[in-house]
Structure 1
Amino acid sequence: MNQFKENHQFLQAPENARARALLKSMGYTTEDLKRPRIGVANSWGETSPGHFHLRAVADAVKAGIWQAGGTPYEFSSFAQCPMAVGKHGIRYDTPTRDIIAAEVEASAWIHMFDALVMISSCDKNVPGHLLAAARLDIPVIVVPGGPMAAGRYKGEDIVTTTLDAECWAYGVGKPRVSEDEVAALEEAACPGPGSCALLGTANTMQCMAEALGLALPGAATALAVSAKRLRIAKESGRQIVRLLEQGITSSKIITPENIFNAIRVLHAIGGSTNAVLHLLAIAYEKGFEKEINLELVERLGQETPCIAAVRPSGPYTMGDFDEAGGVRAVMKKIESTLKTDVLTVTGGTVAENLAQVSFDDSPVIKDLQNPVNKGGLAILRGSLAQSAVVRPTVIPPEMMRHSGPARVFNGQEEALEGLQQNKVQSGDVVVVRYEGPKGGPGLTEVFKVIGYMNATGLETKCALITDGKISGFAKGPFICQVSPEAAEGGPLSVVQDGDIIEIDIPNRQLNLKISDEELAARIAAWQAPEPRVTDGFLTVYARLANPASKGAGINLRLK
């Protein structure tokens, strides 16, 4: 309670009557102002279905805070769901994570909050809130907004990617269904608020919040529009006051051991490659790079089978995953491989939390002896990359090894145009470069490229390699987050059309088949292209972005 005592003494002093008067202008009473100040970062908005329902969630959180003896102060936290897929605007996608973290950091300091509850659902909001939690050593709970229910069409569950596949087919001029059927899918795919009903980045990161111990058990997967979601929200409000009373701050939970657990769970659920970025960014924020790095990600991936048969790695939806037990059930199945003596926001340890977990057998969460895949995510290395990330559970078996000529595009727009114009042939390895943290700038989401490749029937004949990132929605032979990126003069920058690229995922290899001497000569002769942007916020990334191997955020360290 030291933080609370210090803030309380300051704000209750006679010299700060002005501050109390300002708060009373909003209806707070003298009694309210004597209680712990609990910030509620609510990312409600009308720009994203993942956040449209969060007013009710925030109301439940605030009710819990009042019940437990705190005073809630709600403030808005930016939310986004990209409309600019395939356009320049998508380059702002990753940077919003750092905007969100910064605004929460600033709000917590300037308003002297004693603790924080952060409510978020989508791709950058959850990791932005996790980064803020790492930056602020006060009690923190994350309340995920939860997944959307699956849509229904012709008697079957459908999700956003069901519609995506038909959209991309129209994009390359090879429609597979009528416009009337696309319109019918459009009406059915997203039946209400929540994060899209598959293990894309949004739901993966909600699962990571729970696996990190920063969200209450069950919070990651309860459907967005459900009484269960509201009950979890209310209990989170009560629990944040208890954490303040017990002095359990974020630094006691965001430890190398809990990040280790989150990485283990990431592999077990077969989550999005983008989660690797976000967990590495949290580790960088905390100064844990020696313990938490790509070497650890790779080792745990080799050891941990994927057991969640959730789309895109399997046939089931997030609602099915929740019904089967969600993150708790996965953690229970892999409990022997976890660090279980670490604290969580329940106030208890992982072991104490898991002691209360029971679940029935389900085809959604498989046994360790019969997994979806023998390993989780993989890190490739070789002459083309010091590191690159791949999601084996979404790659056709025949593409786990592939060797073919490079077809090089200097950006997502070039690649999309090339696919529309049939410039990619069977067997090619599509290279999309200058989309990394500094080159994008901002680490561009280029998943529309793999969508177009699939729509042209190339998903079992061509591979995609990029220094950008790929959405958790994507399914197909993609390798992303190549580091060093092209804009830094990495080997990707000197690949030429026709160069043979060798991909060997089982052996974790990614090689450019030219001699060492030729590669060195090309790199020595390389000249950086003109920057894609010369003003605006993205220039911060062109100058200060960390590599993908450190989370691709802004380097905020002065020493």
Structure 2
Amino acid sequence: MSPEISPPDPRGIDNNLTHYGDRGFAAYLRRSFTKSMGYTENSLARPTVGIVTSESGFNNCHRQMPELVRAVERGVLLAGGLPVAFPTISLGEPFLYPTSMKFRNLMAMDVEEMIRAQPVDSVVLVGGCDKTVPAQLMGVFSVDKPAVQLVTGPMMTGSYHGERLGACTDCRRFWGWYRAGEVSTEQIAAVEGNLATTSGTCAVMGTASTMACLAEALGVSLPGTAAIPNVHADRLRAGENSGALAVELARTGVPPSAVVTGEAVTNALRVLLAIGGSTNAVIHLTAMARRLGLAVGASELNELSDSTPVLVDLKPSGEHYMEDFHRAGGVPAVIRELGELMNLDCPTVTGRTWREILAETDPWRDDTVVRPLRAPVSAVGGIVSLSGNLAPAGAILKRSAADPRLFESEGRAVVFESLADLAERIDAPDLDVEPGDFLVLKNAGPVAEAMPEAGYIPIPKVLAEQGVKDMVRMSDARMSGTAYGTIVLHIAPEAAVGGPLALVRNGDRIRLSVRDRSLELLVSADELEQRREQWVPPSPAAPERGYSRLYRDHVLQADEGCDFDFCQPVTAEV
């Protein structure tokens, strides 16, 4: 008589059984191979917590990840779960050609499918570099599997000749001085070795730190953990606590969709504006929200921006660094100060609302870093959305990092047709450019060039040498969250798909009005129609295959989060 074999448990290691036409056999075979790795029956009876890792030798932000993953595993084990780490694509910002943005959606697909396919009851998403956090959250939101986001945390500052340095706002500042001839080759080499001296993400409120703060504001990571430095012991404690929480989520089954509601997205937008966060976060938050059928609209962004002061005095919008923000109280301090401007009754992954969390949190903060409402860094939010005949689907400007004297201005267009054209002519001694001109870069959007961080168009060398520090620049590209300047970004539709930006010519007049939220090309409709009839869309430099072809054929525009059209929920109303 054959021994009875219990039917497979739909949870734990028996979750998502491989198809063999016999579920009992599939469970039997899986357990056999699992036991080949030394697991006991006691281990296999526990909830399985997947730990999504993104370590790579080409990712400086994640250099400390092995130790952080061990802390997560410790938390899972202490809480009675079975931790199983598995890798996905890693996106190291300065190491990817042509730009990491091209591969955000690929990583999101990797995360989604590995979570969907493997036997996990919940996951801890471990990552930090710019595109990593949005990719991980886009993936897990599509699966809607219980999850905790754990960021790797920012690096500590370095120093040069007694001055604190932090990647990468100070990188750009010194490089600008070097281009202007104010810093020598020897000095820039010395600065290069002191900008990034520990593991972790950029030390300022760039995209990585911004997305960490937004994950916390959305309620999908532990409160108070976004700003903990990468090398701080609290970062490992956050790992252990995140692992323990993941076990609880495995047992309760609370999915991200129960936490990330429309109100939570509004909270994240409010925090984005209050921290003077990265413009890239608008694209990433849009993509993340759309995975859950939620929307991020330009009108809501502008309404919130007008009623949300910038409270966090951090570079590039202020003077301090992320380690200072952590000591000052971090995201909870910002939310406490915003008070009823926030939806404090939104749930979080902890099971508690923000109101309950703040009641249990030390109310002390450093007012020099997290300013009080009565004395903000700026009375209005850091980012605004623009529209007009040059940007029918919108554009973005980070006013907290720009020169207010340029907010209401009109200038002559100095046009660069492509990234190659920009590289060839921006430093030409005979470039016809004046300080009051508008620099315009075309064909650097999502379809044309995967939307690189080329929107931070350098000040032309002929002007930099005259002492010009800022001028109006605009493009369909992005800008690093660590950058600054009066720069219009994400112009949509992009030039490569026939947006009005494609029709701009040298000498055209353009009007920018931050007050009116407008960006207008001062050319008659008849003239623009004639230009459109003559316009020829650019074609790829070489035949495309594989992911490059998939990307070009299916990527959406900036106002839709640059996600893939086929990754949108079937029933989403966005």
- Which TM-score applies when normalising by structure 2? 0.91
Contact 2:438 2:472 in 1 (8 A): yes
In 2, Cα distance between equivalents of 1:114 and 1:392: 43
Displacement after TM superposition at 1:499 (Å): 0.1
Distance apart, 1:163 and its partner CA: 3.1
1:439 alignment partner, SS class: helix
Query: Paired residue for 1:66?
Result: 77
Who is 1:297 aligned against? Answer: 301
Pick aligned residue for 2:125 from 114, 118, 128: 118
Where 1:83 maps in the other structure, the secondary structure is: helix
Aligned to 1:510: 519
Counterpart position of 1:541: 551
* Alignment-derived partner of residue 369 in structure 2: 364
**Match of 1:201, as an amino acid?**
T
Matched with 2:150 is: 143
Q: Does 2:402 match 1:391?
A: no
CA change 1:31–1:6 in 2 (3 A) is: closer
Alpha-carbon distance, 1:77 to partner:
2.6
Letter in 2 for 1:475: Y
Q: Name the SS of the counterpart of 1:118 in structure 2.
A: strand
Asked if the contact 1:82/1:90 (under 8 Å) is kept, the reply is no
Does the aligned pair in 2 maintain the 1:412–1:449 contact within 8 Å?
no
TM superposition shift of 1:530: 2.0
Measure the CA separation in 1 of the matches of 2:84 and 2:445: 38
- Residue 214 of structure 1 contacts residue 344 of structure 1 at CA under 8 Å; is this kept in 2? yes
Q: Return closer, same or farther for 1:50/1:476 CA change in 2, 3 Å cut-off.
A: same
Any idea what SS the aligned residue of 2:77 has?
Answer: helix
Alignment of 1:522 onto 2:528: no
Whichever residue aligns with residue 195 of structure 2, its letter is A
| SS of alignment partner, residue 420 of structure 1 | coil
With 452-461 and 273-282 compared, the bigger mean Cα shift is at 452-461
| Identity among equivalent pairs (%) | 32
Tell me what 1:81 maps to. Answer: 92
The answer for the alignment partner of 1:47 in structure 2 is 58
Query: Equivalents in 2 of 1:215, 1:452: separation in Å?
Result: 42
Partner of 1:464: 473
Residue in 2 that maps onto 1:24:
35
How far apart, in 1, do the equivalents of 2:73 and 2:543 lie?
43
Q: Which residue, 409, 414, 420 being the options, matches 1:413?
A: 420
Aligned to 2:258: 252
Q: Distance in 2 between matches of 1:221 and 1:356?
A: 19
Q: Deviations over 1:413-471 (max 9, x none)?
A: 3213222214243222111111111122x222215524767955675552111101111
Relative to structure 1, the CA distance from residue 363 to residue 242 in structure 2 (aligned partners, 3 Å threshold; closer, same or farther) is: same
Distance 1:432 1:9 in 2: 48
Report the alpha carbon displacement of residue 128 of structure 1 after superposing the two structures with TM.
0.5
Report the alpha carbon displacement of residue 284 of structure 1 after superposing the two structures with TM: 1.6
Distance 1:448 1:103 in 2: 30
User: Residue 446 of structure 1: SS of its match in structure 2?
Assistant: coil
Deviations 1:22-70 (A, max 9, x none): 2222222222112111110111222122100111111000110111111
- 2:210 counterpart of 1:200: no
Contact 1:416 1:452 in 2 (8 A): no
Q: Write the distance in 2 (CA, Å) between the matches of 1:371 and 1:90.
A: 39
Structure 1 stretch displaced more, 255-264 or 534-543: 534-543
Alignment CA distance shift 1:50-1:455 (3 Å): farther
Q: Confirm whether residue 438 of structure 1 aligns to residue 442 of structure 2.
A: no
Residue 524 of structure 1 and its aligned partner are, at CA, apart by 3.7
Task: Tell me how far apart the structure 2 counterparts of residues 312 and 217 of structure 1 sit (CA, whole Å).
Answer: 24
Moved more, 69-78 or 159-168: 159-168
**Deviation by residue 1:321-372 (Cα, 9 ceiling, x = unmatched):** 1111111110111120112222211111121112223123421111212221
Instruction: Please say if residues 273 and 308 of structure 2, whose CA atoms lie closer than 8 Å, have aligned partners that are also in contact.
Output: yes
Q: Answer whether contact 1:404 1:501 (CA < 8 A) is retained.
A: yes
Q: 1:279 to 1:9 in 2, by over 3 A?
A: closer
Cα deviation per residue 1:515-547 (whole Å; 9 max; x = unaligned)? 222223323432212234531423223211111
For 1:138, what is the secondary structure of its paired residue?
coil
Query: Is 1:550–2:560 an aligned residue pair?
Result: yes
CA distance in 2, matches of 1:263, 1:404: 31
Q: One-letter code of the match for 2:67?
A: A
Say how many residue pairs are matched.
549
Displacement of 1:228 in angstroms is: 0.5
Give the C-alpha shift of residue 397 in structure 1. 2.2
Letter in 2 for 1:52: R
Aligned to 1:37: 48
Distance 2:69 2:13 in 1: 27
Cα distance change of structure 1 residues 447 and 381 upon mapping to structure 2, 3 Å threshold: closer
Aligned to 1:210: 216
Q: Distance in 1 between matches of 2:93 and 2:366?
A: 37
Residue 505 of structure 1 and its aligned partner are, at CA, apart by: 1.3
Change (3 A) 1:56 1:5: closer
TM-superposed CA distance for 1:215, in Å, is 0.6
- Distance in 2 (alpha carbons) for counterparts of 1:514 and 1:353: 54
Superposition pairs for residues 224-243 of structure 1, below 5 Å? Answer: 224-243=230-249
Aligned partner letter, 2:193: E
TM-score relative to the length of structure 1: 0.93
Q: Distance in 2 between matches of 1:468 and 1:264?
A: 24
The separation in 1 between residues aligned to 2:39 and 2:172, in whole angstroms, is 48
CA distance in 1, matches of 2:465, 2:129: 29
Helix, strand or coil at the partner of 1:133: helix
- What secondary structure does 1:177 align onto? coil
Amino acid at match of 1:402: S
SS in 1 for 2:111: helix
Separation of aligned partners in 2, 1:456 and 1:76: 48
Structure 2 residue corresponding to 1:322, chosen from 326, 330, 343: 326
Q: Counterpart amino acid of 1:392?
A: R
Residues 15 and 119, structure 2, Cα contact 8 Å, conserved in 1: no
- In structure 2, stretches of 5+ residues that fail to align are 1-8
The answer on whether the counterparts of 2:259 and 2:348 sit within 8 Å (CA) in structure 1 is: yes
Separation (CA, whole Å) in 2 of partners of 1:457 and 1:57: 48
Q: What is the CA deviation profile of residues 219-244 of structure 1, one whole-angstrom value per residue up to 9, with x for unaligned ones? A: 10000001100001100000111122
Query: Could you say if the C-alpha distance between residues 90 and 474 of structure 1 is closer, same or farther in structure 2, counting changes exceeding 3 Å?
Result: farther
Does structure 2 retain, via aligned residues, the 8 Å contact 1:136–1:250? no
Equivalent position of 2:6 in the other structure: none
Question: In structure 2, what is the equivalent of residue 275 of structure 1?
Answer: 281
Q: Which amino acid aligns with 2:72?
A: V
Q: In structure 2, give the amino acid aligned to 1:287.
A: G
